[in-house]
Amino acid sequence: MLTRRPVWLAAISVLCVSLLALSGLRAATDTLPSQLTDQEFWKISSEFSEPDGFFRSDNLLSNEVWLQRVIPDLLNTVKAPSVYMGVGPEQNFTYIAALRPKIAFIIDIRRQNLLEHLMYKALFELSDDRADFVSRLFSRKRPAALNSRTTAAEMFQAFERAPADRKLFDANLRAVMDNLTGRHHFALSEADRTRLAFVYTSFFREGPGLNYSVGGGPTVNMPTYAALMADQDGSGQQRSYLADERNFEIVRRLEAANLVIPVVGDFAGATAVREVGRYLSAHNAPVTAFYLSNVERYLFEQRRAWRRFYSNVAILPYDDRSVFIRSVLNRPTFELEHSLSPIAAFMKAFSDGRIRRYQDAVTIAN
C-alpha cells in the first residue's frame, strides 16, 4: 500500500539533484544578463510575485545594528559573486555593495516593501552622488561643502541640521512617480501610488532620525537611519552603502541596469523563491548569499511553514561557497547578531531530519 510522504521528504530528491550539481555549477559559465529591459524587469517582478501578505509592522528601515559584522567573513567565503537574495528594506544595499553581485532579488511578504524598493530605485537613478541621494531621500536641501570625501557620519550630521522642505518633497515625489511610470512604464495601480507616497512621506517626516519603530514596530533601542549608515564592521571599516561613493555607485549601477528586482513573496509560499530558483538555474547562476534576517523565527511559529521554506530553498542552485546570512536575537542583550551558514551543509542537515525547531536552524551548520 502506498503512503503519502511528508513534505520535507518530498523535497529530498530535489535537494539531492542540487547537491549533485554543485561541481557543475562551479564549472559552468553563468549567462546572467548585464542589463534587463524595463519590460523584462517588470515581468519578472510581477510574475514571480505572490499576493500581498501581512507583517506586524511597516518595517521601513532595518533594526539590525550589527549587520556589517559578518561582511569580512562573507568576503573571505565568497570568491566569485553571482547572485544575491535578501529580504526587507535598505540593509540589502549594504550587502550588495560588499558582494557586487551580478543580479539581486529582494523577496518580502509585503507589497509595501516592493514599492519602497521601487522608490529607492527611482532615487538612485535621479541622483548623481551620495549627497544628492540623501537630499532626495529625506527632501532636505543639500548642505554646502559635502563632497566625495565626506564620511557618512559627517553627511548625516549635516542633513540632520537641514530643515525638511515641503516644496522639495512635492517636487521629488512627482519626479519619483514620473521615473517609475513615465520613464520605465511600470504599471503601478492607484493603491500602489498611495502606498509609495506613504513610504516617502514617512522619510520626509522623520528625516535621518527614521527608525524601525515608525509604522508600529517596537520602540526600544532602535537605531536611526543615520546611525546605521555610519556604523562599521567591527574592525573599524565602514561598509554601509552610503559609507563612500564607491559603495553607492555599485548599487546605483545595478539599479540603473534593472538588476535589483523586488518580488512579493512568502518564503514558504508556492511561487516567489521557486521562480527565482528556476530563473537562476536556467542561467547556470548559483546563489552567492541569501540574507534571511530572522524570518525563520516566524516560519517556525507557523505549522509546517519552515518545512515548505527549506523545500523551496532546495529548488535554488547553490554551490559549496553559497551562504545564508542570518540575524538571531541574543536574549540577554536583545540585539540581533549575525552569522553565516553554508547553504549546502544546512540543507544536508534538513534532508537528514536534523532540523526540527528554530534553535536547530540557527545552530546547525553555522
Q: Find the helix packing angle between 111-126 and 245-256, rounded to 10°.
A: 110
304, 323, 62, 103 alpha-carbon torsion, rounded to 10°: -110
Question: Is residue 135 situated within a structural domain?
Answer: yes
In-domain check, residue 11:
yes
Indicate whether 166 belongs to any domain.
yes
Burial of 246 (0-12, 13-18, 19+ CB in 10 A): exposed
pTM of this prediction?
0.91
Cα separation, 148 vs 157, in Å, equals 16
Asked if 274 and 336 touch (Cβ cutoff 8 Å), the reply is no
322-to-62, 147, 239, 284, 315 alpha-carbon distances in Å: 23, 37, 21, 14, 14
What's the domain range around 167? 7-363
> How many domains does one find in the chain?
1
Residue 1 lies in a domain: no
Q: Report d(CA 70, CA 27) in Å as an integer.
A: 27
- 35 in any annotated domain: yes
pLDDT below 70 — which residues of the chain?
A: 1-29, 215-220, 330-336, 365-366
In this predicted model, what pLDDT tens digit does every residue of 310-360 receive, in sequence order? 999 999 999 999 999 999 876 655 566 889 999 999 999 999 999 999 999
Query: Quick check: is 2 in a domain?
Result: no
| Residue 361 one-letter amino acid | A
User: 115-161, pLDDT tens digit by residue?
Assistant: 999 999 999 999 999 999 999 999 999 999 999 999 999 999 999 99
Cell 523551496: give the residue.
Answer: 312
Does 251 fall in a domain? yes
> Looking at the domain assignment, is residue 180 inside a domain?
yes
Work out the angle between the directed axes of helices 305-313 and 343-351 (0-180°, nearest 10): 130
CB burial of 18-36 (b: ≥16 within 10 Å; e: otherwise) equals bbebbeebeeeebebeeeb
